[in-house]
Amino acid sequence: MEVHAPRHEGLDRFLVPPRIAAPLDPGFRPSALARRELAEALDRSGVGVRVAVALEAPGRSVCRRETSVFEAGHENAAAGYEASERLIKSMLWSRGGSRSWVDGPTELVARLRRHYAEDPAGRFDSRTVGEAVYGSPLEVIAAPAAEFPVVREAPSRLGGHREGCRIGFDLGASDRKAAAVIDGEVVFSEEILWDPSRHEDPQWHFDQVMDSLRRAAGHLPRVDAIGGSSAGIYLDNEVRVASLFRSVPAPAFETRVRGIFHELRRAWGGIPFVVVNDGEVTALAGAMIAGVGGLLGVAMGSSEAAGFVTCDGGLTPWLNELAFTPIDFRSDAPLDEWSGDRGCGVQYLSQQAAGRLLPAAGIEVDPATALPQRLVMLQKLMAGGDERARRVYETIGTYLGYALLEYRDWYDFEHLLLLGRVTTGPGGEAIEARAREVLVVEGPGPAETIRFHSVSERDKRHGQAVAAASLPDLAG
């Protein structure tokens, strides 16, 4: 693919070295600290210009944020423009939307429009969030704040249904899981390795998912409902964007993959059938296990998935695709080859991060070794007390701690649950310990208010499939 990753060099003078350095990545410059430094510089300058931004997901939600930029002609004007683009990118991927309303300098609006029309990373955001998810390219609208759409949020009541005989499934990039549940009790669960991103034929994908459903159904007297989670973006049970199907040609995606879960529902007699993003089910699993709301769930697997459960226990209509939100503002941050952007969460909180850090730790690995196998190697070294492996996990923990500072700007959460293969075993314990250290040192506030929740190793691996089973309401 074409990759010309943006370099946000105007922000360079506002980058702040973290107080807790990443052992294997000394150049890491957290976005949360840079935003803080830039805001303070704007306050000191006396020439800051207020900017209001609203992001609209038609028919769903509207969120609004305010920031500031330096006035036109100021030596740091470029930094303000770049920070505004990073802000909108985080809004796009955390909340979702296809219209960005901006009340700010004319040059800022012009630069944003050029970014989404001409820059490869900007075009990716516009095509993926705007067109693929909501049906139209991202539109940047210049308007006074008084003309912005009204802020609205509508939490969903999906999840938490335990009655009856249910199947839950979770489709990841390297494995698929399924569970059979009777009145909230798990009677069967399993995990099967697969590699869906290489397969072009939609029928192969249909058959693989059907196989897992049938295997789970074999442990139930009947099937009342099916709930699923999957990596990607799903609206109204339709596949909008999903790397699992990246090899499927576009025409076949539109005619077969987009409605594949509707097809599966019909194959099961039209019973209640709900599929949502795997991050949403991560959060739901955490809330169900811990019995709390106001919880952010983060799954560190083949990618980074996230979801949020509100204080009253509801899911949201937001995208919560934190894999694409920037958490590192240095201009030469690691590159996400899919989006063509730098510093995004996927390169810091996933198997990709673990694989990327192995050489820096002095752990030799064949370049042809796939990421899941690299993680297995790392886990074995960590279990054996290898200090090189510990540095990898401590580096990921540092990333997590500073990412949580960023996420607190987007989510009102007091509880955190970590899931995914990267958090399995003693490596996961090292990640959590390091993240806690970051929150203490960079406080005040987050260290005292974020409560980490732990679950059993089995729940870490299968919790998403079990929680997914609770998604459908038998009445609908």
From first to last of the 476 residues of the chain, give the pLDDT tens digit.
344 455 567 899 999 999 999 999 999 999 999 999 999 999 999 899 999 999 999 877 899 999 999 998 899 999 999 999 999 999 999 999 999 999 999 999 999 999 999 999 999 999 999 999 998 999 999 999 999 999 887 666 678 888 999 999 999 888 899 999 999 899 999 999 999 999 999 999 999 999 999 999 999 999 999 999 888 889 889 999 888 999 999 999 999 999 999 999 999 999 999 999 888 887 888 888 888 999 999 989 888 989 999 888 888 888 999 999 999 999 999 999 889 999 999 999 999 999 999 999 999 999 999 999 999 999 999 999 999 999 999 999 999 999 999 999 999 999 998 888 899 899 999 999 999 999 999 976 666 689 998 777 666 556 677 889 999 999 76
Pick from 429, 280, 452, 420: nearest CA to 350:
420
Element holding 101 (H helix, E strand): strand 99-103
Give the tokens for residue 135.
Answer: 């049906």
Distances (CA, A) of 271 to 65, 256, 276, 397, 427: 41, 20, 16, 42, 41
Peptide bond into 444 cis (omega under 30): yes
The candidate with the shortest Cα–Cα distance to 210, out of 173, 172, 178, is 178
DSSP one-letter code for 126 = I
C-alpha span between 104 and 65 (Å, rounded) = 12
CATH for the stretch 165-277 = 3.30.420.40
Question: How many CB atoms are closer than 10 A to CB 150?
Answer: 8
For the stretch 308-328, pLDDT in tens is 998 888 888 889 999 999 999
Domain residue limits, the chain: 47-147, 165-277, 281-466
165-277 and 281-466, same CATH topology? yes
Tell me the backbone φ, ψ of residue 238, rounded to 5 degrees: -105, 145
Contact yes or no for 430/390 (Cβ under 8 A): yes
Specify the CATH number of the domain 281-466. Answer: 3.30.420.40
- How many CB atoms lie under 10 A from the CB of residue 73? 8
The dihedral through the CA atoms of 312, 313, 317, 323 has a sign that is positive
Location of structure tokens 């609208």:
141
